[in-house]
Structure 1
Amino acid sequence: MNKEKQYDIVIYGGTAAGIVAAVQAKIMGKSAVVIEQGRRIGGLTSGGLGDTDVGMKQAIGGLSLEFYRRVARKYSQDGACWLFEPKIALEVLQDWVVENNIEVVYGERLELKDGVTKQGSKIISIRMESGNVYRGKVFIDATYEGDLLAKAGVSYFVGRESNSQYGETLNGIRPGNELPGGIDPYVIKGVPSSGLLARVNSHPGGNIGDGDAKLQAYNFRMCLTDNPDNRLEIEKPVGYNEADYEILFRAIEQGQRSRFFKLNRVTPDKTDSNNNSGISTDYNGMNHNYAEADYRTREQIWEAHRIYQQGYVWTIQNHPRVPEEIRAAYKPWSLPLDEFIESDHWTPQLYVRESRRMIGDYVVTEHDVRLENRVPDSVGMGSFAMDSHHTQYYVNKDGHVSTEGGFYIKLTAPYPISYRAIVPKQTECTNLIVPVCVSSTHAAYGSIRMEPVFMILGQSAAAAAALALDADGIVQNVKYEQLHSILVQENQVLYADV
């Protein structure tokens, strides 16, 4: 069945950013479709990230703030609620879809070989693996991976720039150990000829501050419960590989007794459980080819992460090499029977913390985040810490296992994000806007990559798309004064109060 449909705005990616973009498109009287690769909208917002990476609340406005207010109303609370269950986030997003009569297409993926049809620098249509074709006047890539921007011929970067490229301090290779000292890196302790442990590299791959193609680690944000009436125990997964947990065992032997994974409660009996130390739920080093991979390879990476993480929790709760007091502390936590019912109570959304990042005419850097640059065309603000998870394990100069790549630098104030960071170079594409895989360095993206910010940028992207449609159709030609006026009217926060 080959359908061909025409829309004002085609939104690829049913993330929270994509849904918000569709709401704003409807507010401005434009026809829109949201194309979701999977079976669930919301991305990480409905996928387990219920402990919102807020940053500074005063920087969050517009539909992004409205989302958190709607969550609060679901819990009969006043104001905004930043802690919530995945099922509640999904309800809020589904309410928006119904109220605004948004067309959402599920289970459709962009054909990666030749799925984007362009005339010159303009996208005419995109074709899915199913053969269905979606024609649009403006396109928004709201995915975490950036497949549409890549296949449309837009420049992008994967990995970490060198510090020298943009005069930064946090980019590139960053040794720094979040493991207990003294962890032997060899399969047989003290015997180099036995080989290195799984996932441990012999060196970091370069000097401090050098760039590379590696990505910070992924994991799943687990929603866990200790309510005995709502629990499904996490079992040892098929494919469990004990060798994958040797760093864990040795960290415990070297004295680690806590921080195996977070148990941040979002309700009295549910958590948002995230990585919490150098050996935790992040599958360090096993996602480096994800950004450029085909769907089959990405599915294999997803499955490897699931097996690792379920196996990790099972190990913490049950393995004889884990001391009884640690096992007992984590044992009550299980999967909630009332979450992710359609996917065996495990979130379908891998935490793709970073994938492709567009290279536009404006690249957001540490200097923007530190308020060292004047940004005259803000479309929203970031305010979370500059935050990167670990990228790899390696053998440090002491001959022990070390983490590499992590940083967490808190900010003193929010910073504006330039409109030019969400549009490509005009020579490359004139009718695409990118609110998630924005034009940014790895260091700056460590702060931008938060769900409230993606929603903010999704709303601004759709407003800009609507203005482009009312003018010459070229997103780079949108008059900022007009865009600013609409965004202020929609309660976006564009600059900090001076």
Structure 2
Amino acid sequence: MMKTPKYYTPETDLRKGEALSCDLCIYGATSAGVVAAIEARRQGLTVVLLAPGDHIGGMTTGGLGFTDFGDKAIIGGISREFYRRLGDHYGVEEEWRFEPSVASKVFDGMMREAGVSPIPKQYLADVEMEEESLKAVLLESGLRVEAGMFMDATYEGDLMAKAGVRYTVGREPNDCYGEFCNGVQVREHHQFLLPVSPYRVPNDRRSGLLPGINEAPLEPQGSGDHKIQAYNFRLCMTQGDGRVPFPKPDDYDPERYELLGRYLDSGWRDLYEKFDAIRGGKTDTNNHGPFSSDFIGGNHAYPEASFVEREEIFQSHVSYHQGLLWFMANDDRVPEDVRAGISSWGLAEDEFTGTSNWPPQLYVREARRMVSDYVITEMDCRGIARAEDVVAFGAYGMDSHNCQRIVVGDRVLNEGDVQIWVKPYPVSYRSLIPSRGETKNLLVPVCLSASHIAYGSVRMEPVFMMLAQACVLAAKLCLAQHCAVQDLSYSDLRRELLSVGQILDLENSSEKKEWLANEFYKINPENALLT
């Protein structure tokens, strides 16, 4: 019997009357939350790590085994230690392409050594504030945790929002921060490059639109909205022995995938580009092409949704993604060569065994983003702006997946995908803390202050880990000096960061990408598909 993964598994009132007190309370057991808890214990702080749900480690243990970093020369501290420990497991110096189960074992070992025990199934209900500081968090289970410092390490920014910190959701217009590739973008990558009719009956407007297509007119290039880039699951797949056939969802509807069928009819076969090989004869399988595992438009309500509503959105993503694989591997609508190729793959039987081999972590690529006194923008990513209070570096390209599917001239197009390469750039300490005058004892390493397009670069798992470690060191200093996070001396923080091996000064890296010279990735307005 298949055990479906879940986002929301509450323990309502089971801990009623229970109270904990600590130096640092971390809400969110993502990779950032795990690293933060480990560093806190190493620094001698008492820590409580609260995990919404059962899954520990976020995307790093949730299927994203083909590590995105851009330039690994930027990666230091516990983040680099983690990849070296993975290397120890595989008998190499360090490993960046790993099995999810091995990542879990490595994190478990590091937490055990540090004396960290996450508390699972803890969903935030409310907070207690004292003047401009967080005093305690209240969980749906009834647990109350009081702390001197708090960290929001979730992908969603729930604690940040409860604490009244200013944030945004969606895409800023280009003129907000003087950017070029924010807002609405219709480009050539992951795009329907051949005409495909969006209508249920091909070329018949009266028949209505196929599922998943936005009927609203396309807004001007570069204009802002509240849409976010699409989510999916990063599947761990294999062939041959150990292959579990793709499950068919109970609500399977082949019409959801008719656009893909029509594009396959055109001769498109570039299906396997993101079946990225990791250890163990497995893959980290990601979205690729005009119609793939990204559930475009299915996540717009997610950032501000309740836990119950998020569970519904989560399950809709499970259904969509499973249905897609079933369609490609089994449906007679799909050309026979495609069915044969896809059906030779399956889920890895020794991964995610508690959820029938399906990842328990939805890839929440973007949700809330804090708006603080320093907003990382495209100008930082391009090296035009440069923060002096550097706590880590980002180096991955400005990468936004598509945000919506629209109709232009009776053909379907995807909108929102941007991929522009960058050089390493510093991340400001001020982007990790609320603005002056807001919460004084909260640090935010994941839903940090960045524009939509800049967040598409900084949102990489190794970077989240480095930012979380920096936040812990800041928290330790603030506790010792009895000061607000906004008042902390950067010179004091810099000394602490260097002492744990963080990279704060970086010359041009020797790591190069073959596509660095590709103008599509370097220049932005000139490569719009529509003008």
Same fold (TM over 0.5): yes
Match of 1:367 in 2: 379
Give the drift of 1:268: 4.8
The SS at the match of 1:34 is strand
Residue 28 (1) aligns with residue 43 (2): yes
CA distance in 2, matches of 1:436, 1:466: 19
Task: Please tell me whether residue 57 in structure 1 is matched to residue 69 in structure 2.
Answer: no
For the 8 Å contact 2:174–2:224, the answer to whether it is kept is: yes
1:293 aligns with 2:305: yes
* Residue equivalent to 1:104: 118
Residue 224 of structure 1: how far off its partner (Å): 0.6
**Aligned match of 1:14 in 16, 26, 29?**
29
Q: Alpha-carbon deviation of 1:180?
A: 3.5
CA contact under 8 A between 1:127 and 1:133: conserved in structure 2? yes
Identity of aligned residues (%): 43
Correspondence for 1:89: 103
Aligned to 2:17: 2
Contact 1:180-1:255 within 8 A present in 2 as well: no
2:35 and 2:468 in contact (8 A); partners too: yes
For residue 402 of structure 1, give the secondary structure of its aligned residue in structure 2. strand
Structure 2 residue 224 is matched with structure 1 residue 214: no
* Residue matched to 1:192: 205
Q: Residue 419 of structure 2 aligns to a residue in which SS? A: strand
Task: Show the counterpart of 2:194.
Answer: 181
Partner residue in 2 for 1:142? 153
**Structure 2 equivalent of residue 427 of structure 1:** 437
Query: 450, 464, 485: which one pairs with 2:474?
Result: 464
Which residue of structure 2 aligns with residue 402 of structure 1?
Answer: 413
CA contact (8 A) 1:261 1:280 kept: no
Residue by residue over 1:107-154, the C-alpha shift from the partner in whole angstroms, topping out at 9 and shown as x without a partner, is: 11101xxx1110111000000001110101100000000000001000
Cα contact 2:474–2:493 (8 A) shared by 1: yes
**One-letter amino acid of the structure 2 residue matched with residue 125 of structure 1:** A
TM-superposed CA distance for 1:317, in Å, is 0.9
Give structure 2 stretches of 5+ with no counterpart: 1-15, 509-531
1:247 to 237, 253, 259: 259
Residues 396-447 of structure 1: CA deviation (Å, up to 9, x unaligned): 1x32000000011112x21000000000013110000000000000010010
Matches of 2:416 and 2:383, distance apart in 1 = 24
Match of 1:68 among 79, 83, 107: 83
Once the two structures are superposed, the pairs formed by residues 226-245 of structure 1 within 5 Å of their partners are 226-228=239-241, 230-245=242-257
Contact 2:265 2:335 in 1 (8 A): no
TM-score, length-normalised on structure 2?
0.91
CA distance in 2, matches of 1:494, 1:192: 56
Which amino acid in the other structure matches residue 186 of structure 1?
Answer: Y
Is the CA contact 1:126–1:134 (under 8 Å) kept in the aligned structure 2? yes
Contact residue 261 and residue 273 of structure 1 kept, 8 A: no
In the alignment, the residues of structure 1 paired with residue 486 and residue 239 of structure 2 have an alpha-carbon distance, to the nearest angstrom, of: 51
- Give the distance between the partners of 2:217 and 2:204, measured in 1 at CA: 21
Distance between the aligned counterparts of 2:437 and 2:143, measured in 1?
28
1:435-493 deviations in Å (ceiling 9; x for gaps): 00000000100100000000010100111000100012411111111110111111101
Q: Equivalents in 2 of 1:204, 1:416: separation in Å? A: 38
Distance 1:313 1:101 in 2: 41
Indicate conservation of the 8 Å contact 1:222/1:272, yes or no.
yes
CA distance in 1, matches of 2:202, 2:336: 24
Q: Distance in 2 between matches of 1:268 and 1:102?
A: 29
Q: What are the residue-to-residue correspondences of 1:106-145 with 2, within 5 Å? A: 106-111=120-125, 115-145=126-156
CA drift at 1:255: 2.4
- For 2:308, give the aligned amino acid: R
Give, in whole Å, the separation in 2 of the partners of 1:205 and 1:2. 52
Question: In 2, distance between residues paired with 1:29 and 1:475?
Answer: 19
Partners of 1:8 and 1:136 within 8 A in 2: yes
Provide the rounded CA distance (Å) in 1 between the counterparts of 2:396 and 2:64.
Answer: 15
Aligned length: 491
| Contact 2:180-2:222 at 8 Å conserved across structures | yes
For 1:227 and 1:65, locate their aligned partners in 2 and report how far apart those are by CA, in whole Å: 33
Q: Which moved more, 1:231-240 or 1:123-132?
A: 231-240
**Does residue 312 in structure 1 map to residue 327 in structure 2?**
no
Superposed displacement of residue 260, structure 1:
5.9
State how far apart, in whole Å, the 1-side matches of 2:400 and 2:301 are.
18
Give the distance between the partners of 2:243 and 2:386, measured in 1 at CA: 51
Q: Which amino acid aligns with 1:469?
A: L
- Structure 2 counterpart of 1:41: 56
Matched AA of 1:166: Y
C-alpha distance in 1 between matches for 2:376 and 2:459: 12
Q: Could you tell me the TM-score, scaled by structure 1's length?
A: 0.97
Report the residue type matching 1:90 in the other structure: S
Q: C-alpha displacement at 1:343, in angstroms?
A: 1.2
Query: Equivalents in 2 of 1:14, 1:58: separation in Å?
Result: 26
CA distance in structure 2 between the aligned counterparts of 1:206 and 1:120, rounded to whole angstroms:
43
Tell me which residue corresponds to 1:478.
488
Which structure 1 segments of 5+ residues have no match?
Answer: none
Contact (CA 8 Å) 2:398, 2:420: kept in 1 or not?
yes
Q: Which residue of 2 aligns with 1:489?
A: 499
CA distance in structure 2 between the aligned counterparts of 1:335 and 1:187, rounded to whole angstroms: 32
For 1:235 and 1:318, how far apart are their aligned partners in 2? 11
The alignment partner of 1:116 has SS state of strand
